[in-house]
Amino acid sequence: AEHQHARYNPLRDDWVLVSAHRVKRPWQGQLEKPPPEDVPRWDPNNPLCPGATRANGEVNPQYEGTFVFPNDFPALQPDAPEPGDSDHPLFRAAAARGVCKVMCFHPWSDLTLPLMSLAEIRAVIDAWAELAVELGASYPWVQIFENKGAMMGCSNPHPHCQVWASSFLPNEACLEERTQRQHLSQHGVPMLLEYAEQEARRKERLVVENRDWLVVVPYWATWPYQTLLLPRRHVCRLQDLHEGERDSLASIMKRLLIKYDNLFEVSFPYSMGWHGAPTGPYLEEDCQHWQLHAHYYPPLLRSATVRKFMVGYEMLAQAQRDLTPEQAAERLRSLPEVHYKQRAE
């Protein structure tokens, strides 16, 4: 807790430098602006609102729950041409095809997941699973992710996420495919199933838990308040969750995200995403080494205005953090589970 040391991340097969004593240093760097509190519930100029016109001229329906539509500016398209042969091994290219979708969580722009009801969050989970099945029928990787807050590059305050399906396994998926397969081969148990059992017993990095799920600040966390959401039983893919697990997932997500918001009493920015066994052609293969999980990567470090920057040493050497995962977990764990905006109600 007081001296620098390195921790191994078995999921990524890399290391993070922990320098706990540095958290005491004064901050004279950039200060972020807190997110606006006066987001209108409906804005005809907001392209994600019901009834609004998007950039391509399409008009959104008057949706009342979740709403999924093709991304108007997709990073992946299904009919991209082959890049052609390379004339040198140092100048390789490969085909990259896919589809990109946007999913609105709710018709109101002034809501976020922690302020939504359990039934509304459960509807989001069901929509995620449906998309995972639909796109996973033909694509090997379906990446569900949410960028929340302008600090994480989100250009629209409306509650939404993105789903990108690709014809290839992205880098992070390839890493987790290799490390989880190797762990099962060497130890006879899925890595993250064993890890969840260990963290449930040790409790020092535990943030919240229920009968089906637990959230921890992982032992190898890079971001200050990074968390890992894990099922207690062996589950390969999001669509494999049964009804009770989906209900308890909605509950634990809400509890975690309320704690995030309560930490600095601000709508907490983060990037999150689901990782599970590959799909498409992998549906016919043995993927028992995989364990479903979600990563949450929030950038805030000391307050609503001071963030962690991944620069310098992190970009050129290896990841580094100032706050120990145990300290971060203790702070999150101790926070109330009633949202700060709703305490007076």
The answer on whether 293 is annotated among ligand-binding residues is yes
Structure tokens of 199?
């963290």
67 is in an annotated binding site: no
Q: Is 158 exposed, middle or buried (0-12, 13-18, 19+ CB in 10 A)?
A: buried
Q: Hey, how many other C-beta atoms are within 10 angstroms of the C-beta on 202?
A: 12
88 is in an annotated binding site: no
Cβ(201)–Cβ(325) below 8 Å:
no
- From 106, 158, 160, 339, active-site residue: 160
The H-or-E segment that residue 7 falls in is strand 5-9
Cβ-contact 132, 238 below 8 angstroms: yes
Is 72 annotated among the ligand-binding residues?
yes
The identity of residue 127, as a single letter, is A
Is 57 annotated to bind a ligand? Reply is no
Per DSSP, 35 falls in state P
Give the Cα separation of 92 and 341 in Å (integer). Answer: 52
Has 46 been labeled as part of a binding site? no
Confirm whether residue 271 is marked as ligand binding: no
Burial of 284 (0-12, 13-18, 19+ CB in 10 A): exposed
88 is catalytic: no
Q: Is 285 annotated as a binding residue?
A: no
Q: Output the six-digit token pair for 131.
A: 């998309």
DSSP β-ladder status, 227-231 and 293-297: antiparallel
Is 106 known to sit in a ligand binding site? no
The answer to whether the annotation marks 63 as part of a ligand binding site is no
Is 55 within any annotated ligand binding site?
A: yes
- Structure-token pair, residue 81: 């041409």
What does the DSSP 8-state code read for residue 231? E
Q: Would you say 24 is a known binding-site residue?
A: yes
User: Which residues does the annotation mark as catalytic?
Assistant: 160
Known binding site for UDP-alpha-D-glucose: residues?
22-25, 55, 71-72, 147, 153-155, 162, 308-309, 313-314, 320
Known binding-site residue numbers for Fe cation? 176, 275, 293, 295
Residues annotated in a binding site: 22-25, 55, 71-72, 147, 153-155, 162, 176, 275, 293, 295, 308-309, 313-314, 320
